[in-house]
Amino acid sequence: MNDLPERLFANPTWHALYSKHQKFAKCAGDACRYPADVGPLAAIRAPGVEPMLQLSSLLNAGESVWIIGKEYSKVAGLVREETLECLQMVLPDDVIVPDTDIEIVKLADTNAGDMVALTTLAFPGFFRQRTCEMGSYYGVRSPSDELIAMGGERLKLEGFTEISAVCTHPDFRGRGLAAGIIWRVVREHRKEGVVSWLHVASANRRAQELYLRMGFEEIRRVSLHRVSRAG
């Protein structure tokens, strides 16, 4: 079974922004974030008052971001809005990638509007106009050319690439579209020599069951905190 290094995966946003995604990084001391139109993700090097104040300086009034961590220091001007408990899961190398007869297309930046519209049905606010620039995205279209399922890549680390934004339009669920897209992403990861991993909300049992059937294994649990800068 693959192991997700604690050094990287306890704080994956930080390590992504200081490696594969450095081109997106907006930093202030020991805090960094993605641009708002790329994604609502931010990180601090380690818990502390000063890093949280530095994070606050990167936000506009009323803006919120998600940070991963067991704890963080509370500071004036930053409000914790909610906490989302998630599992980190990894696909072992010995899992065989099956063939699929689903017609899957690679999506481009010009499809960003379609991707935002579809993901908004599943997880509003996470997928932004430029999120698709974080990696490769794939989709399935209906006979009328509507984007009805998609998935792709988000956080990129050395040797490990996250699968994210996997969703299917409610009218087309139960057809194996999500699994087909995930296998397409995994197949590309195997070619690149990177390990596929993902985050899934602890409360999302339906998605967890799908990933477990596909062979993904739970590695650890993490907390995502949404914090906002007071207006």
pLDDT, one tens digit per residue, over 124-142 is: 999 999 999 999 999 999 9
Same fold: 6-86+224-229 with 89-221: yes
- Reported pTM: 0.94
**Would you state the torsion angle of the CA atoms of residues 210, 215, 221, 227, taken in this order, to the nearest 10 degrees?**
-50
Write out the two tokens for 177.
């579209």
Q: Give per-residue pLDDT as tens, 25-38.
A: 999 999 999 999 99
How much is the pLDDT for 70?
80
For domain 89-221, give the CATH number: 3.40.630.30
Q: Give per-residue pLDDT as tens, 150-192.
A: 999 999 999 999 999 999 999 999 999 999 999 999 999 999 9
- Fold category of 6-86+224-229 in CATH: Aminopeptidase (3.40.630)
Other beta carbons within 10 angstroms of residue 209's beta carbon come to 10
Q: What single string gives the DSSP state of each residue in the chain?
A: -----HHHHTSHHHHHHTTTTGGG-EEETTEEE--TTT-SBEEESSS-HHHHHHHHHTS-TT-EEEEE-S-----TTEEEEEEEEEEEEE--TTSPPPP--S--EEE-GGGHHHHHHHHHHHSTTTS-TTGGGGS-EEEEE-TT--EEEEEEEEEEETTEEEEEEEEE-GGGTTSSHHHHHHHHHHHHHHHHT-EEEEEEETT-HHHHHHHHHHT-EEEEEEEEEEEEE--
Q: Give per-residue pLDDT as tens, 38-84.
A: 999 999 999 999 999 999 999 999 999 999 988 788 899 999 999 99
Domain ranges in the chain are 6-86+224-229, 89-221
